[in-house]
Amino acid sequence: MINVSDILETISMIQDENLDIRTITMGISLLECCDSDIDRACEKVYDKITRKAQNLVKTGDEIEKQYGIPIINKRIAVTPISMLLASSKGDPVKYALAMEKAAKECGVNLIGGFSALVHKGFSAGDLELIQAIPEALNVTTRVCSSVNIGSTKSGINMDAVKLMGGIVRRSAELTADRQCVGATKLVVFCNAPEDNPFMAGAFHGVGEPDCVINVGVSGPGVVRCALAKAGIACDITAVADVIKKTAFKITRMGQLVAYEASKRLDVPFGIVDLSLAPTPAVGDSVAHILEEMGLEQCGCHGTTAALALLNDAVKKGGVMASSHVGGLSGAFIPVSEDAGMIAAAESGVLTLEKLEAMTAVCSVGLDMIAIPGDTSEEIISAIIADEAAIGMVNSKTTAVRVIPAIGLDVGDHLEWGGLFGSAPVMKINKTSPAVFINRGGRIPAPLQSLKN
């Protein structure tokens, strides 16, 4: 059990260092909503989501007021909709509209699960859902989508990779009048976790309970301040120790909120995701943590090593603080959502190639990166394939959330505001990978998959 006194020392972190609970996410299984009639299935989806999550926002607000802990987002994740579509057939966008209506009724800001898992091939409903993603994201504002195209156990579905290059581009094109926002709500995964509370990649996995509460904590500003207080005399071992101790305190706060939400909603507690998720706010940047370690600017040589240290230390500190750590857990590097990353990209120090190297040691992948509007589908697919290969070979989750900035080029900006922030359009290598991508097929699983 958690004693409230264990987290009292976090008060100054909340007030001065941007510490918060980034999200309480309720996972809801929709498997019982399957129906051969798609309209009836959508009614069941709306009814179950609103029944289970009707008190989610209210409960989050009550916990926030009682403990003085900011809870920034209340969200919902549901069973991958492609599974329901296999039974009902019909227009997948109807499910997206039902999700949107339910999310609005419950008062949550985002709902995830317009998703398909195709890492080993397409089953009934998968292709139809994937092809409907651009329109679904165009006609909704709260629905998020994800597609898992590879895993260490299965290899990489290159037919899906090829398809997703066009889907990402089409999602941006349909919302070009709104800063290409459709693509900001679409993630392409390798080794997607089933219990991820963070959007846009959240969905409720088939191995999860009927309903569950997952919590995502965040505290880049806290870690940076702790390192600043430790000073430059610390060696690298001491730096890792400072990060571990700080991550422990942050995670204890997340554990408290998770237990409270679980008890009040009478829903099982799932996991605490202890990721350092940045925001565009000053003082809430993962890049600035790396710079506090001694880098002149994020993206210079040494950045990958510093990020590896940070990611590992965060996990080591967090797992001691919670009995159930899961999700992604570690350090996120979304360019548009991190003030330090934005500055480094604008100065040219942080490049797409360096970001790709960093994803080998961080928690996710190429996240919230704006690329030139004339980038071809094949190049987008190749970016996805490269990132999936890193995840597959290293037995870790990787993802791609790139935004083709339709009508814009390098040096221009996309502006969304809020947690999505703004993204400078980054230079990419436009040498064609078309022949490779168009081969299709499947990259076989690596030798390290044979662990049975």
Q: Is 14 helix (H, G, I), strand (E, B) or coil?
A: helix
- The identity of residue 51, as a single letter, is R
Instruction: Identify the bridge partners of residue 20 per DSSP, sorted by sequence position.
Output: 218
Measured between alpha carbons, how far is 410 from 415 in angstroms, rounded to an integer? Answer: 14
| CATH code, 215-446 | 3.20.70.20
Put residue 18 in one of left, alpha, beta given phi > 0 → left and psi -120 to 50 → alpha.
Answer: left
For strand 269-273 and strand 155-157, is the pairing parallel, antiparallel, or unpaired? unpaired
The per-residue pLDDT for range 321-367, each reduced to its tens digit, is 787 888 888 888 888 888 899 999 999 999 999 999 999 998 788 99
Measured between alpha carbons, how far is 403 from 243 in angstroms, rounded to an integer? Answer: 32
Return the number of other C-beta atoms located less than 10 Å from residue 144's C-beta: 27
Element (H, E) at 371: strand 366-372
Which position has the token pair 């329109």?
Answer: 135
Virtual torsion, Cα 134, 139, 144, 149, nearest 10 deg: -20
CATH 3.90.340.10 fits 25-190, yes or no: no
Mean pLDDT of 189-218: 91
Residue 21: which pLDDT band, with cuts at 50, 70 and 90? confident
The packing angle between helices 236-265 and 303-319, to 10°, is 50
Domains 25-190 and 215-446 equal at CATH topology level: yes
To the question of pTM greater than 0.75 for the whole model, the response is yes
pLDDT at 55 over 80: yes
Q: Where are the domains of the chain?
A: 25-190, 215-446
Which position has the token pair 């590879």?
Answer: 150
Mean pLDDT of 119-136: 94
> Which two three-digit tokens encode residue 259?
């237990």
The per-residue pLDDT for range 131-163, each reduced to its tens digit, is 999 999 999 999 999 999 999 999 999 999 999
pLDDT at 169 over 70: yes
Measured between alpha carbons, how far is 94 from 51 in angstroms, rounded to an integer? Answer: 19
Which position has the token pair 């040219």?
Answer: 348
> Which two three-digit tokens encode residue 318?
């967090």
For strand 211-218 and strand 269-273, is the pairing parallel, antiparallel, or unpaired? parallel
